[in-house]
C-alpha cells in the first residue's frame, strides 16, 4: 500500500505529518541498510573506500580489514602477552584482535586459531573440529623443537586435516621465524686481522639450565664423557658454576673460551637455536655442535665456523681434534675467517613467537595474499612429516652419538609407535 500522502482526500496538515514520518522511516532504513553494507565492506576492502553521493559530492571513509584470532589454549606464563591483544597491521590496513581460550566453541567465527601449547584430549580435538568455521586457518605455531611440543600433535586420524600453516624456525614453514642466520657481504669489506686465539685463554664451556636430565638425548652425560678427555667448564643449573643472569657478565666470561658446546636439547630438523647463534654473535667462540644434521649446519651456519660432533668416529677422536685445534693458532683462527666474508644476525623472541604483532601481521599478510590471488587450494601442514616431528629420531649418524639418545630409544621399543597416540604425548 502507498503511504497516506499519495492518497486523495487527506488534509494538507495530515499530509505534512505523514510526509515527515515517511522520510524519517526511509532515512532509518537507509541507515540500517548502509551500515550493514559498510560493515561488510569493512571486512573486505583495504585502505580507502570512496562513496559517490552525486556527480559532485564524494566522501571517503578509512576502512580496516578486521581479523580475529584465538590462541588455543591457555598455559600460564607461556604466551608472554596479556590477552586480548590488539594490533594494527599497516601493510593491509588490518585491525587484529587475538584472544585466548580453553573452550573449543570460542573458535567459532575466528579467522585463525593458533596452537602453541597443549595437552589436548581426544574429546578436545573432536570438539575443535566440530566448531571449526569454514575458511578458518589453523596455525601450528611454536619456536620450540618438535620433540618438546609433541603435546599438540593431533591424533593420527587428524594428521592431514588439522593444521593449515606452520609458524616455526624451520625454513619450510609457512611463516618463518628463524633463530638466526648468516648473510654473506655483497662486497666484502677490507679484511680485519685479529688474533682470536690470543684473546681466548680458556678451553671449552657449556652452559645449560633446562632439561639437564636429557630430553631427546642425554647431553649432560655427553658433556661429562667429553670432560674425561678435555677440560670443560660447566655453567648453569646443569653444571657446576653459577652464572648471574647478566648479559654483560656472561659475555665477558664466555669470550675467554675457545670453544662453546652448543648442544641442542633434542635433535630435530633445522633446530639450530640461540645456543649456536650466541656462540657466534655474543661469545665469539667456536661452537661444538649436536642438534641438526651436518647438512643443515652446512646450509644455515657460516662456512667453517663450527665443529660438528658427527664428523668424528668416537668421543676420543672428537676430543683429539678439539685439542689439536686449541694448540694451533693458525688452525684455530681459520674458524674466524668467515667474519670477513659475512655476518650473523639473531632474531629476538618477539619476532619468533606468533602472538606478538610481527608474527600476527605476517599471518594477516598471508591471508590477504591468499584473498587477492583468489587462491583456492587447501593448505595442509603435516606435523608428523619429515620436516617436523618425523625428523626427531636420533642425534647424529654415528652410533657413539646415538647412544646418548633417550627418546628415540624409547620409541623403538614400541613396535607400533606410528599409531600409539599416547606415546606422542609423553614428553611435556
Ligand X SMILES: *[C@@H]1O[C@H](CO)[C@@H](O)[C@H](O)[C@H]1NC(C)=O
* Residues in Cβ contact with 170 at an 8 Å cutoff, skipping those fewer than 6 apart: 176, 269, 270, 387, 388
* Interface stretch with ligand X, choices 80-88, 216-224, 307-315, 348-356 (CB under 6 A): 216-224
CA distances for 98 relative to 69, 71, 243, 413, angstroms: 5, 7, 37, 42
The yes or no reply on residue 422 touching ligand X (CB under 6 A) is yes
| Closest to ligand X by CB, 224 or 399 | 224
CA 394, CA 405: separation in Å to the nearest integer? 6
Half-sphere exposure of 76 (CA within 13 A, CB side): 0
| Closest to ligand X by CB, 24 or 414 | 414
The yes or no reply on residue 213 touching ligand X (CB under 6 A) is yes
The yes or no reply on residue 423 touching ligand X (CB under 6 A) is yes
The three three-digit cell numbers of residue 294, written as one number: 651436518
| Closest to ligand X by CB, 318 or 325 | 325
How distant is the alpha carbon of residue 89 from its chain centre? Answer: 18
The yes or no reply on residue 378 touching ligand X (CB under 6 A) is yes
Q: Which of 164, 172, 333, 403 binds ligand X (CB under 6 A)?
A: 164
CA 30, CA 156: separation in Å to the nearest integer? 52
| DSSP structure class, residue 309 | G
* Residues in Cβ contact with 244 at an 8 Å cutoff, skipping those fewer than 6 apart: none
Please provide the distance, in angstroms rounded to a whole number, between the alpha carbons at the two ends of the chain: 70
The yes or no reply on residue 224 touching ligand X (CB under 6 A) is yes
Site for ligand X in 236-275 (CB under 6 A): 239-240
What residues form DSSP beta bridges with 86?
A: 97
| Closest to ligand X by CB, 187 or 240 | 240
| Closest to ligand X by CB, 35 or 412 | 412
Q: Which of 142, 218, 265, 387 binds ligand X (CB under 6 A)?
A: 218
The yes or no reply on residue 379 touching ligand X (CB under 6 A) is yes
Q: Are 380 and 160 in contact (CB under 8 A)?
A: yes
The three three-digit cell numbers of residue 247, written as one number: 648479559
DSSP-assigned letters across all residues of 393-409: T-S-SSHHHHTTBSHHH
CB of 222 to ligand X, least distance (A): 8
| Closest to ligand X by CB, 151 or 379 | 379
The yes or no reply on residue 208 touching ligand X (CB under 6 A) is no
Number of residues that bind ligand X (CB under 6 A): 27
The yes or no reply on residue 137 touching ligand X (CB under 6 A) is yes
The yes or no reply on residue 405 touching ligand X (CB under 6 A) is no
CB of 422 to ligand X, least distance (A): 5
Site for ligand X in 277-336 (CB under 6 A): 328, 330-331
The yes or no reply on residue 234 touching ligand X (CB under 6 A) is yes
| Closest to ligand X by CB, 52 or 374 | 374
The answer for 214, left when phi > 0, alpha when psi is -120 to 50, beta otherwise, is: left
Helices 315-327 and 219-226 sit at what angle, rounded to 10 degrees?
A: 60
| Closest to ligand X by CB, 74 or 210 | 210
Q: Which of 166, 220, 305, 391 binds ligand X (CB under 6 A)?
A: 220
State the Cα angle at 366 between 364 and 369, rounded to 5°.
110
CB of 390 to ligand X, least distance (A): 18
List residues binding ligand X (CB under 6 A): 137, 161, 164, 213-214, 218, 220-221, 224, 227, 234, 239-240, 328, 330-331, 373-374, 378-380, 406, 414, 416, 420, 422-423
Amino acid at each position: 500500500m502507498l503511504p497516506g500522502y499519495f492518497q486523495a482526500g487527506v488534509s494538507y496538515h495530515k499530509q505534512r505529518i505523514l510526509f515527515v514520518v515517511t522520510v524519517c522511516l526511509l532515512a532509518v532504513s537507509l541507515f540500517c541498510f548502509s551500515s550493514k553494507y559498510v560493515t561488510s565492506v569493512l571486512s573486505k576492502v583495504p585502505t580507502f573506500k570512496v562513496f559517490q553521493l552525486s556527480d559532485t559530492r564524494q566522501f571517503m571513509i578509512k576502512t580496516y580489514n578486521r581479523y580475529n584470532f584465538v590462541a588455543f589454549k591457555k598455559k600460564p606464563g607461556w604466551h608472554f602477552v596479556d590477552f586480548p591483544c590488539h594490533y594494527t597491521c599497516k601493510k593491509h590496513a588490518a585491525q587484529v584482535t587475538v584472544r585466548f581460550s580453553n573452550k573449543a566453541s570460542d573458535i567459532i567465527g575466528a579467522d585463525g586459531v593458533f596452537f602453541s601449547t597443549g595437552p589436548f584430549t581426544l574429546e578436545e580435538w573432536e570438539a575443535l573440529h566440530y566448531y571449526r568455521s569454514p575458511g578458518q586457518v589453523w596455525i601450528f605455531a611454536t619456536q620450540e623443537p618438535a620433540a618438546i611440543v609433541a603435546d599438540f600433535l593431533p591424533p593420527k586420524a587428524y594428521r592431514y586435516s588439522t593444521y593449515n600453516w606452520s609458524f616455526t624456525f624451520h625454513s619450510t614453514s609457512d611463516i618463518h621465524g628463524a633463530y638466526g642466520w648468516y648473510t654473506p657481504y655483497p662486497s666484502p669489506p677490507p679484511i680485519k686481522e685479529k688474533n682470536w686465539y690470543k684473546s681466548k685463554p680458556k678451553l671449552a664451556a657449556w652452559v645449560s639450565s633446562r632439561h639437564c636430565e636429557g630430553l631427546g638425548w642425554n647431553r649432560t652425560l655427553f658433556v661429562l664423557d667429553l670432560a674425561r678427555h678435555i677440560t670443560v667448564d660447566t655453567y648453569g643449573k646443569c653444571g657446576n658454576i653459577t652464572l648471574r643472569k647478566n648479559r654483560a657478565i656472561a659475555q665477558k666470561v664466555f669470550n675467554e673460551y675457545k670453544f662453546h658446546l652448543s648442544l641442542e636439547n633434542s635433535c630435530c630438523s633445522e633446530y639450530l637455536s640461540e645456543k649456536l647463534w650466541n656462540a657466534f654473535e655474543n661469545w665469539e667462540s667456536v661452537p661444538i655442535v649436536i642438534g641438526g644434521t651436518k647438512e643443515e649446519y652446512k646450509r644455515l651456519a657460516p662456512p667453517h665456523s663450527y665443529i660438528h660432533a658427527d664428523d668424528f668416529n668416537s668421543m676420543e677422536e672428537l676430543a683429539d681434534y678439539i685439542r689439536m685445534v686449541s694448540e694451533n693458532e693458525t688452525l684455530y683462527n681459520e674458524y674466524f675467517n668467515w667474519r670477513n666474508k659475512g655476518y650473523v644476525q639473531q632474531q629476538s623472541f618477539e619476532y619468533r613467537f606468533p602472538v606478538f604483532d610481527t608474527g600476527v601481521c605476517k599471518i594477516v599478510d598471508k591471508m590477504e595474499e591468499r584473498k587477492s590471488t583468489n587462491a583456492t587450494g587447501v593448505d595442509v601442514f603435516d606435523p608428523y612429516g619429515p620436516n617436523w616431528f618425523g625428523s626427531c629420531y636420533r642425534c647424529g649418524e654415528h652410533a657413539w652419538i646415538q647412544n646418548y639418545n633417550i627418546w628415540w630409544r624409547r620409541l623403538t621399543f614400541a613396535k607400533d609407535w606410528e599409531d600409539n597416540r599416547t606415546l606422542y604425548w609423553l614428553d611435556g
